[in-house]
């Protein structure tokens, strides 16, 4: 049987999705269902003086209205920060309470005040409008940079400072900078983004009074985590009385990793009123209440020698956490950010200092790349600036500082097991026809366009993550992954994974792996995920972890199946276990023609004994059945890396900027399904280019979200992109048997600096993201004016 | 309340609806055809595109009452005798979908493009699909799938 790993297998999940038979949470309905509509704060910061539901309770169709007082009375716990970060001075981070329905204060526009439950959505919405909330409006803190010197939002959190974290060695950096020929400095804003999965968040909770069990359907990347949080922290129901199902989920990009207030409230309310409670966000609710991404203000410096050798690096960042510390909110700007801050380079000394601040904006959490795009944007624009100031080619300065020996102990944390950065950049330059740029620039000029080229070399830490390491760093959970491989008696297979697929194609790629391991046709393998009552506990999908951690768990579970199969085959074939070999789905006794297929072995395992023609002996002491589970905890992170080259054309008359050529060379280690991997890169690039040129989440100075619909927030469209040129290099990861590294986030990490370096190259001056037509036009013309005045 | 009669995916249906029932709500809730998705509230995302009398429209921005007497085709209605439509086949072959949420609208919109323009260029495809937002694919494989379907139809 030919290996399926490496093949462009068409996706098994596509037919249902293409024919309208997918089942998303909003498609789930229960008999006797009610509809929830949330009363949300219209103010960024206010005290709640009184919530008056008297009139609303009398509105047609209203079943129940629940408020923060009810949540408190029922002792429903608050939403949690999953990572505990310590400040440089050793003190613990400071986080505010985050009740699922606000009790005494609201802290961002969209914060949850009450829930109206009615017979229909229209009735719930109408009644919500007449819930009377008496607010005392307070001055909002909005700006990231000024948050520490603004009004204090929470009584116990001075300067609105969650933590002041340091990674690295200030003294070594100081010494390195003293030896520098030149120090390159940069000030950057990493613009706030809204993840914008196309499926708005939704929840539908059903309570069964006879079993006292809640079944929660939800738009989650991580149903097991939702269950443990809603159970252990919110205290809605014991874990064994709470079933969480994440059916088809329409994208996540980080924003659906953890439960939100709405899931907690719907589950709790369903139990309280003993009826199903359904909630589906409209798009503006999603903008207001989904966790946002990025939002850093950074000052960074790079110490260099005149020949371009890097000596030291410092990064001083203020990270906006929003109003509350979300589950991955505190790790995103620290351990997902700091260790990658020095980029792919040899950097003798470095530190990253992050001050994480609270503001009266929606919570900020992981968004595709989570910390690594922010790190990469800083170092890669700084390196490009260094090249300009030293008069070096941007490719040359990168090549000069790449490590070439692996494993490579990276400056701040990671031991990078494998990579070949030189090969990656060389291949990118070749595919992009780097040498031909000047000619293309002249051609663009002849059409009146300014052409620019920009590079980005990146590495990222994925395969999240070795549990002992992350727990030492402050993570409240392990980050291993589970798999259960279950042979059914008739020989087909169901594989349960604790990860979750919401576009990544696990139904196909994981089946490819199991098919290769077990020698079973892929059509006979079903991947099951997303239901806490089916497979074992797992940690879900984010951080490019599913294949590297969850895929490995499948391999390990298959190994156990094969080990048992060998014992059973040995008995049946009257041979020694050591003489039984397994390949292509057959157990063969060495140097003989005696063999059993894995299907025959599975059948024998389920029907041990003799019944007519069926003779299925099991070895003594061997239990019947053929089902194995593995919990895989990786020994290290994995480290995808690559080099991307972007070319843009700017219209100097309008400032309109178009990406005209984009080349991406990535090293994801072993690739299981190139079709799927290319799709992941395309999608990441679109989000990265979106951040660079189009997208911006903007709050005004009173904390009103100005960009709260698709009329106001620029989502990239089909006509914003060219076809991307992709290529791959491969240095397999050594930390997992598949050799995979993860591919989901690379595009979103590499594209922003590649695009922005190209824009700055085209217009000859610095500019912040997003490089909208207006900003580019202004920057170009101001620079032109400055230059002509200087001349 | 108002009674409307429409032909949906070849079947005649008559339903009593509220005057303000939006077409997407009618399709999803009254007809239980949940393949038509709603991704925004401003007619921007296009996940809700269906055909009314052969033309693609955003069903989140039409009143069900306004399409009384029309023929409606949804994503559930384009496969024939168990075989997917060439557009669906092309999306599958070229990985033109990931999470699948925008896909029904994208497919319905793309089919209408080919009704108007049998051999569209890349630029024409990208411009036509400007009203359909996809967050997963970066659009490249969608464009390729539409071209593939054009060659098969």
Residue ranges and CATH numbers for the domains of chain A are: 14-138+201-280 (3.90.1170.50), 296-464+636-790 (3.30.365.10), 480-632 (3.30.365.10)
Whole-number Å distance between alpha carbons of A17 and A248: 9
**Is residue B82 within 8 Å of residue B105, measured between CB atoms?**
no
Set of chain B residues whose Cβ sits within 8 Å of the Cβ of A24:
34, 37, 101
Question: Are the Cβ atoms of A24 and B102 closer than 8 angstroms?
Answer: no
Q: Is the ipTM of this complex over 0.90?
A: yes
What's the alpha-carbon Rg for chain B, to the nearest Å? 15
Bridge partners of A189, per DSSP, are A297
- Helix axis angle for A372-390 and A394-401, nearest 10°, is 110
Residue keyed to tokens 């156990």: A560
Nearest beta carbon to residue A675 from set B40, B79, B95: B95
Whole-number Å distance between alpha carbons of B9 and B78: 8
Set of chain A residues whose Cβ sits within 8 Å of the Cβ of B126:
717-719, 721
Whole-number Å distance between alpha carbons of A600 and A494: 17
Question: Are the Cβ atoms of A17 and B102 closer than 8 angstroms?
Answer: no
Whole-number Å distance between alpha carbons of A172 and A189: 27
Question: Are the Cβ atoms of B138 and A20 closer than 8 angstroms?
Answer: no
| Tokens encoding A265 | 């409230």
Q: Which residues, other chains included, contact A506 with Cβ-Cβ below 8 Å and sequence gap of 6+? A: A497, A499, A500, A527, A529, A541, A546, A550
CA dihedral (A654, A656, A661, A666) in degrees, to 10, reads 150
Low-confidence ranges of chain B (pLDDT < 50): none
Whole-number Å distance between alpha carbons of A39 and A51: 10
| Closest residue of chain A to B21, computed from CA coordinates | A122
| Tokens encoding A49 | 């003086």
Output the pLDDT for position A35. 98
Any long-range contacts for A150-158 (C-beta under 8 Å, 24+ apart)?
Answer: A153/A45, A153/A96, A153/A107, A153/A323, A153/A358, A153/A359, A153/A360, A154/A94, A154/A96, A154/A358, A156/A94, A156/A96, A157/A94, A157/A95, A157/A96, A157/A358
Give the number of A-B residue pairs with CB atoms closer than 8 Å.
Answer: 176
Output the pLDDT for position A129. 98
Question: Are the Cβ atoms of A251 and B98 closer than 8 angstroms?
Answer: yes
Nearest beta carbon to residue B41 from set A13, A283, A503: A283
Question: Are the Cβ atoms of A721 and B139 closer than 8 angstroms?
Answer: yes
In the stretch 109-138 of chain B, residues with CB closer than 8 A to chain A read 122-123, 125-127, 129-130, 132-138
Backbone angles phi, psi at A491, to 5 degrees: 100, -5
Low-confidence ranges of chain A (pLDDT < 70): 1
DSSP assigned state of A86:
B
Question: Are the Cβ atoms of B76 and A503 closer than 8 angstroms?
Answer: no
List, in order of start, the domains of chain B with CATH numbers. 2-77 (3.10.20.30), 86-152 (1.10.150.120)
Bridge partners of A213, per DSSP, are A208
Output the pLDDT for position A612. 81
**Is residue A79 within 8 Å of residue A326, measured between CB atoms?**
yes
Output the pLDDT for position A791. 82
Whole-number Å distance between alpha carbons of A376 and A750: 7
- Helix axis angle for B103-116 and B86-93, nearest 10°, is 120
Distance of CA A688 to the CA centre of its chain: 13
**Is residue B33 within 8 Å of residue B10, measured between CB atoms?**
no
Whole-number Å distance between alpha carbons of B77 and B23: 16
Interface check for B61 against chain A (CB to CB < 8 A): the answer is no
Output the pLDDT for position A1. 62
Residue keyed to tokens 């100081």: A174
């Amino acid at each position: 049987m030919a290996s399926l790993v490496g093949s462009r297998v068409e996706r098994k999940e596509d037919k249902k999705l293409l024919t309208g038979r997918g089942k998303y949470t909003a498609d789930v309905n229960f008999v006797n269902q009610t509809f929830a509509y949330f009363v949300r704060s219209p103010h960024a910061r206010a005290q709640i003086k009184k919530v008056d539901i008297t009139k609303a309770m009398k509105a047609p169709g209203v079943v129940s209205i629940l408020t923060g007082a009810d949540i408190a009375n029922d002792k429903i716990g608050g939403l949690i920060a999953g990572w505990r970060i310590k400040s440089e001075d050793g003190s613990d981070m400071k986080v505010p309470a985050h009740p699922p329905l606000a009790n005494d204060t609201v802290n961002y526009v969209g914060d949850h005040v009450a829930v109206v439950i009615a017979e229909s959505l229209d009735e719930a919405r109408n009644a919500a409008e007449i819930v009377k909330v008496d607010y005392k409006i307070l001055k909002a803190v909005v700006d990231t940079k000024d948050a520490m010197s603004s009004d204090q939002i929470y009584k116990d959190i001075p300067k609105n400072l969650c933590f002041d974290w340091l990674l690295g060695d200030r003294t070594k950096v100081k010494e390195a900078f003293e030896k520098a020929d030149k120090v390159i400095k940069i000030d950057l804003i990493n613009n706030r983004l809204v993840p914008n999965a196309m499926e708005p968040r939704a929840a539908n909770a059903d309570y069964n009074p006879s079993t006292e069990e809640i079944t929660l359907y939800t738009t989650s990347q991580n149903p097991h985590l939702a269950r443990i949080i809603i159970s252990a922290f919110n205290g809605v129901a014991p874990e064994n009385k709470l079933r969480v199902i994440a059916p088809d989920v329409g994208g996540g990009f980080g924003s659906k990793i953890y439960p939100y207030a709405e899931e907690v409230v719907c589950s709790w309310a369903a139990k309280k009123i003993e009826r199903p409670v359904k909630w589906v966000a409209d798009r503006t609710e999603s903008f207001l209440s989904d966790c946002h991404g990025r939002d850093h203000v950074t000052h960074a410096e790079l110490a260099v020698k005149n020949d371009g050798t890097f000596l030291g690096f410092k990064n001083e960042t203020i990270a906006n956490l929003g109003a509350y510390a979300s589950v991955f909110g505190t790790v995103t700007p620290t351990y997902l950010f700091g260790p990658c801050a020095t980029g792919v380079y040899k950097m003798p000394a470095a530190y990253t200092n992050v001050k994480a601040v609270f503001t009266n904006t929606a919570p900020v959490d992981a968004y595709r790349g989570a910390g690594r795009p922010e790190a990469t944007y800083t170092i890669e624009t700084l390196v490009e600036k260094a090249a300009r100031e030293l008069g070096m080619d941007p490719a040359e300065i990168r090549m000069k500082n790449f490590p070439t020996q692996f494993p490579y102990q990276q400056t701040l944390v990671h031991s990078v097991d494998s990579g070949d950065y030189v090969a990656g950049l060389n291949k990118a330059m070749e595919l992009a026809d780097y040498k031909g740029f000047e000619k293309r620039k002249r051609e663009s000029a002849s059409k009146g366009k300014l052409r620019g080229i920009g590079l980005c070399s990146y590495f990222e830490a994925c395969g999240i993550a070795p549990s002992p390491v992350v727990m030492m760093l402050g993570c409240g959970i392990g980050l291993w992954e589970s798999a259960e491989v279950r042979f059914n008696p008739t020989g087909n297979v169901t594989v349960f994974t604790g990860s979750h697929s919401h576009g990544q194609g696990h139904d196909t790629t994981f089946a490819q792996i199991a098919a290769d391991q077990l020698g079973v046709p892929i059509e006979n393998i079903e991947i099951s995920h997303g239901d806490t009552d089916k497979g074992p506990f797992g940690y879900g999908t984010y951080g490019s972890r599913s294949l590297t951690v969850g895929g490995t768990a499948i391999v390990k579970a298959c190994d156990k199946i094969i080990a048992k199969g060998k014992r059973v085959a040995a008995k049946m074939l009257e041979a020694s276990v050591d003489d039984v070999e397994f390949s292509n789905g057959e157990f063969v006794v060495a140097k003989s023609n005696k063999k059993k297929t894995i299907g025959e072995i599975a059948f024998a395992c389920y029907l041990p004994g003799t019944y007519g023609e069926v003779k299925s002996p099991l070895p003594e002491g061997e239990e019947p059945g053929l089902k194995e589970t593995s919990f895989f905890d990786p020994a290290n992170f994995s480290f995808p890396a690559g080099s991307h080259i972007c070319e843009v054309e700017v219209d100097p008359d309008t400032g309109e900027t178009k990406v005209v050529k984009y080349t991406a060379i990535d090293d994801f280690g072993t690739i299981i399904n190139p079709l799927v991997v290319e799709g992941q890169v395309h999608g990441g690039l679109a989000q990265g280019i979106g951040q660079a040129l189009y997208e911006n989440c903007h709050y005004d100075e009173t904390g009103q979200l100005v960009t709260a619909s698709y009329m106001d927030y620029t989502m990239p469209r089909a006509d914003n992109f060219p076809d991307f040129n992709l290529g791959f290099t491969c240095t397999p990861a050594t930390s997992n048997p598949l050799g995979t590294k993860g591919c989901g986030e690379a595009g979103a990490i590499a594209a922003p600096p590649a695009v922005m370096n190209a824009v700055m190259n085209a217009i000859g001056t610095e500019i912040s993201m997003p490089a909208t037509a207006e900003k580019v036009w202004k920057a170009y013309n101001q620079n032109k004016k400055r230059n002509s005045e200087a001349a | 309340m108002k009674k409307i009669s429409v032909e949906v995916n070849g079947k005649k249906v008559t339903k009593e609806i509220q005057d303000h029932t939006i077409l997407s709500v009618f399709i999803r809730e009254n007809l239980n055809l949940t393949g038509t998705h709603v991704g925004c509230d401003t007619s921007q995302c296009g996940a809700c595109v269906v055909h009314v009398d052969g033309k693609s429209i955003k069903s989140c921005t039409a009143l069900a009452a306004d399409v009384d007497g029309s023929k409606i085709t949804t994503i559930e209605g384009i496969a024939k005798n168990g075989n997917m439509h060439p557009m669906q086949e092309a999306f599958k072959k070229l990985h033109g979908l990931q999470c699948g949420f925008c896909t029904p609208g994208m497919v319905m919109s793309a089919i209408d493009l080919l009704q108007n323009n049998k051999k569209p260029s890349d630029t024409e495809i990208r411009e036509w699909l400007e009203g359909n937002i996809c967050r997963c694919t970066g659009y490249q494989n969608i464009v390729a799938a539409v071209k593939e379907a054009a060659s098969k139809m």
